[in-house]
Amino acid sequence: MKSIADISDQLRASLKRSGRTQEAVREAAGLSRQTAVNVFKGTEDFKLSTLLAVADKLGLEVALVPKGTSRAVEGSDAPVVETKVERALFTAAHQLGQVKLREMIGTKSTNRTDAQPRTGSPKVKP
């Protein structure tokens, strides 16, 4: 989560999953009606103590984690590390791109990845 709107989205999703009303969480957390609206709307800044109170009433904990690890914590479908299959697909796509590039600049396609484009003028047989 990188913004107040992201945090509010998570709080609204947790509120929905909990089956509780915004009003019930507001009262349990001891918030004014306007503060609760601001928290769940996500367009206004709010205090950390407010976030902690709402999170607690929704059965959540606020945690700070190193950058990059939050994808795993948030349950992202994207892998945190590159898989062997992803690496093979990237390599194949890269090699295919080299073949296409060679075709565009007029070199013969080889299995070598270090093929250089032709230089100089083509030789013409008399």
Q: What CATH number should be reported for the domain whose range is 4-74?
A: 1.10.260.40
- pTM (2 d.p.): 0.55
Phi and psi dihedrals of 15, rounded to 5?
Answer: -60, -45
Distance of CA 26 to the CA centre of its chain: 31
Compute, in degrees rounded to 10, the torsion defined by CA atoms 44, 26, 16, 77.
50
Q: How much is the pLDDT for 96? A: 77
Q: How much is the pLDDT for 60? A: 93
Q: Tens of pLDDT along 76-121?
A: 555 556 678 777 777 887 777 777 766 766 765 455 444 455 555 5
Spatial neighbors of 55 by CB under 8 A, at least 6 apart, are 11, 61, 62
What residue segments make up the domains of the chain, in order of their start? 4-74, 82-116
Q: How much is the pLDDT for 109? A: 47
Q: How much is the pLDDT for 77? A: 57
**Using an 8 Å Cβ cutoff, are 64 and 49 in contact?**
no
* Cα distance between residue 42 and residue 121, in whole Å: 65
Residue 71: CB atoms within 10 A of its CB come to: 13
